[in-house]
Amino acid sequence: MKTALRQIIVTAFILLIVFTGVQFTLQSFKVEGASMEPSFFQDQYVLVDKLTYHFRSPQRGDVIVFHNPRSPSQLYIKRIIGLPEEQIEIREGRIYIDGKELEETSDFPQIPYSDNCSVTVPPDHYFVLGDNRNHSSDSRSLGPIPAENIIGKVWLCYWPPSEWGLSPEYSAALE
């Protein structure tokens, strides 16, 4: 009887450790809306890696989930375009970083010509855009996102099964 009770306690303890570890390292997120198309679609479920940014800073091109600075209970998914202390300018449908044009994957819709903006990203902040540049509430309206609002990096799409896979690749170069 004591052996069975001991096994139950050990098993429960191991499950508690595993559960706690998963809670600190991963989070599930449901994509709402069309702001990240063509990379992510309405009602897809993704896993967010909450651990990576404890060891390195977010990078240009990372897709992140973060708390909306204006309404912290809302979670958004967007792509990092501008890093801390960079000058971001959007004019005539093009993105410029520190005066150099950002040449991106051609899959994204062009930014509307009327969405011109210019901002210097403060320290510990990031400039984010949705991949569907025509239909996204992002740093153009929210401003740069504080690093403390970032939950983590999108790692894996797990639902629906037909979309299962790692976060899509992104390529960009400063010209």
Please give the positions annotated as active site. 35, 78
| 29 in Cβ contact with 117 (< 8 Å) | no
- Rounded-to-integer distance, Cα 30 and Cα 153, Å: 14
44: closest CA among 135, 174, 159, 162?
159
| 131 in Cβ contact with 79 (< 8 Å) | yes
| 167 in Cβ contact with 155 (< 8 Å) | yes
Q: Which residues fall within 8 angstroms of residue 139, CB to CB, at 6 or more apart? A: 78, 81, 82, 88, 119, 126, 127, 128, 129, 145
- Which two three-digit tokens encode residue 90? 């959007």
Continuous H helices in 26-172? 139-142
